[in-house]
A and B are shown apart, each in its own frame.
Chain A
């Protein structure tokens, strides 16, 4: 099945090796992957298969050793450190397993951070952050500190932070694994609602088979390779039998 949308992320023969000599680990040994605009791609696979390494390279926080990787026609390998940082700030949203909200900032202030990084004035940034918090159902918790929120609420704040600056690529590493299943499910519902868009790409790394249904396609990794890319329905049934 061929997607009619343009390719947004293209990886070709991407390699990454950690360490040297005896302790060398080939985390990625030639990864090929294409993600289309508007897609919600999930990356699954056993622990240590290289999922985190791959999205780190795609999101420009880690340098690859070899191969090609182009994100919206930009190749991080051809950018300076500063350009990479700026590109990330303007085009990429992040969601982490442990939320990574700054503990001394309120929900709205946390959500405002990407705007502040991009030079938006404080008042305007906070106003926009409040608006987005409303969209993730936390309009009444804008002044709360992270510690005053439940895990699910914190992850919703993190999602708001990931989308507030309208990035073209959103990467999530295990966004539901610190949450119970019901909360995780709700968080994924929300993520799909607010983060998926026609010219935007959402890549989610997960172990959690119960959220596979949210993906448009699923790439399965093992030992530093993509071993299969499938559309959701058949994949879900496969995975559940294992």
Chain B
């Protein structure tokens, strides 16, 4: 009976395409929007993801996410260093600084100062130059997207000349020399990222009483991170998070205090509703079109179970095709947007999520049809 079910489905070309289009559209909308949402969320903590060496981040107890900067006194790093179980603890500066472009305009940059001695917390990948070159005078390392984009020199004819090693730039009225180009994950604000040493950062940065943003901590081998965090909190009164905890804190902040999840959530729900409306409605109409034949099959001895299996098979078929096309289209869009500002993350969990959504749509659609067919009286076959 299976091939009969499939032939009935494919034979009704208009409805068949209608159902598939509905499901494709729904799974595309759900997958693509959720992927962009995930991409955006990853960007909120990309700095943490990039800075993988430290085990624990010590910060002001009031900060709510990684870019919520509340500087600490520099002496705090000494106190943290003395906590039992700490292998090392180094300061890090993070702030926003204005770079003056050759054409006279300003560009805000993420400015990061690394511990002078160890240079811990540097960019994950250096494309040109060496991290140690930061020890030269006025040295900075600039990320590639910033160097070729927002920090590039724009000629009168519109051509862009990227920032290169040896170029100088003006950061908050101080001269800086580019000694390296690095690659970092894109950040939420998509600003250029500039690395330098901690002491130089404190010179470049606007004068403030406290200038240390984070204390990066490495645990001694065999130390339990959570216990160590607990100890640091007790002894210093500061907050201490493992990297994962800090990431969670950051994501939770964006989830709670920005409208981003709601916005994307609405689109995903809309995709779901549109899917049910188009695919469900068309599937139901398809079943109504065929009610006469379902009745005939019933009269000729097809059991309810048999007919339900037929409908289930039909729903599974359109579900798989629609899901495949939708997810395929979403991936294609994601692939094409790979080199643009758009964020896009498509992990297997999201594929599973949209598979479940499409399954739910199909189940809802098929359920309506099944009900119709179960209630169908075989006596209708003699009605003309």
Tell me if B81 counts as interface (CB < 8 A to partner A).
no
Stretch at the interface among B85-93, B168-176, B182-190, B290-298: B290-298
Our pick among A86, A94, A174 for the contact of B381 (Cβ within 8 Å) is A94
Bound together, the chains give a CA A2 to CA B311 distance in angstroms of: 50
Our pick among B7, B301, B378, B384 for the contact of A104 (Cβ within 8 Å) is B7
Bound together, the chains give a CA A89 to CA B300 distance in angstroms of: 5
* B303 contacts A113, C-beta separation under 8 Å: no
Tell me if B4 counts as interface (CB < 8 A to partner A).
yes
Residues on B with beta carbons closer than 8 Å to the beta carbon of A113: 4, 297, 300
* A117 contacts B302, C-beta separation under 8 Å: yes
How many interface contacts (CB-CB < 8 Å) are there between A and B? Answer: 83
Residues on A with beta carbons closer than 8 Å to the beta carbon of B377: 61-62
Interface size of A as a range? 20 to 34
Given contacts A109-B7, A113-B4, contact A56 B379 (CB under 8 A): yes
Stretch at the interface among B8-16, B155-163, B337-345: B8-16
Bound together, the chains give a CA A204 to CA B101 distance in angstroms of: 95
8 Å CB contacts to A: which residues of B1-34? 1, 3-4, 7-8, 10-12
**Of residues B4, B12, B293, B304, which shows the largest number of chain A Cβ atoms within 10 Å of its Cβ?**
B4
Our pick among A90, A103, A109 for the contact of B301 (Cβ within 8 Å) is A90
Residues on B with beta carbons closer than 8 Å to the beta carbon of A82: 303-304
Q: Which chain B residue lies CB-closest to A93? A: B300
Bound together, the chains give a CA A155 to CA B30 distance in angstroms of: 49
Chain A 57-101 near chain B by CB (<8 Å), digits 1 or 0:
001011000000000000000000110011111101010111010
Chain B 272-285 near chain A by CB (<8 Å), digits 1 or 0:
00000000000000
Residues on B with beta carbons closer than 8 Å to the beta carbon of A56: 379, 382
Our pick among B4, B7, B301, B384 for the contact of A89 (Cβ within 8 Å) is B301
Residues on B with beta carbons closer than 8 Å to the beta carbon of A116: 1, 4
Chain B 299-323 near chain A by CB (<8 Å), digits 1 or 0:
1111110100000000000000000
Residues on A with beta carbons closer than 8 Å to the beta carbon of B378: 61-62, 88
Tell me if A105 counts as interface (CB < 8 A to partner B).
yes
CB proximity of B13 to chain A, nearest CB, Å:
10
Bound together, the chains give a CA A31 to CA B304 distance in angstroms of: 31
Q: Which chain A residue lies CB-closest to B296? A: A100
How many residues of B are counted as interface, with CB atoms below 8 angstroms from the partner's CB atoms? 26
Tell me if A210 counts as interface (CB < 8 A to partner B).
no
Residues on B with beta carbons closer than 8 Å to the beta carbon of A232: none
Q: Which chain B residue lies CB-closest to A114? A: B300
* B302 contacts A105, C-beta separation under 8 Å: no
Bound together, the chains give a CA A11 to CA B319 distance in angstroms of: 49
* B384 contacts A98, C-beta separation under 8 Å: yes
Residues on B with beta carbons closer than 8 Å to the beta carbon of A59: 299
Bound together, the chains give a CA A116 to CA B309 distance in angstroms of: 14
Tell me if A55 counts as interface (CB < 8 A to partner B).
yes
Given contacts A61-B379, A104-B7, contact A96 B296 (CB under 8 A): yes
8 Å CB contacts to B: which residues of A6-45? none
Q: Which chain B residue lies CB-closest to A85? A: B303
**Of residues B296, B300, B304, B377, which shows the largest number of chain A Cβ atoms within 10 Å of its Cβ?**
B300
* B293 contacts A100, C-beta separation under 8 Å: yes
CB proximity of B374 to chain A, nearest CB, Å:
10
Tell me if A52 counts as interface (CB < 8 A to partner B).
yes
Bound together, the chains give a CA A116 to CA B300 distance in angstroms of: 11
Given contacts A94-B299, A113-B300, contact A104 B382 (CB under 8 A): no
Our pick among B10, B293, B298, B301 for the contact of A114 (Cβ within 8 Å) is B301
Q: Which chain A residue lies CB-closest to B383? A: A52
* A100 contacts B381, C-beta separation under 8 Å: yes
CB proximity of B38 to chain A, nearest CB, Å:
42
* A173 contacts B4, C-beta separation under 8 Å: no
Residues on B with beta carbons closer than 8 Å to the beta carbon of A89: 300-302
Tell me if A149 counts as interface (CB < 8 A to partner B).
no
* A86 contacts B4, C-beta separation under 8 Å: no
Bound together, the chains give a CA A96 to CA B12 distance in angstroms of: 22
Residues of B within 8 A of A (CB): 1, 3-4, 7-8, 10-12, 292-293, 296-304, 306, 377-379, 381-382, 384
Contacts beyond the supplied A86-B303, A116-B4, A122-B3: 6 A-B pairs with Cβ under 8 Å: A52-B382, A59-B299, A61-B299, A61-B377, A109-B4, A113-B4
A-B pairs with the 7 shortest C-beta distances? A89-B301, A104-B11, A61-B378, A62-B379, A100-B296, A88-B301, A61-B379
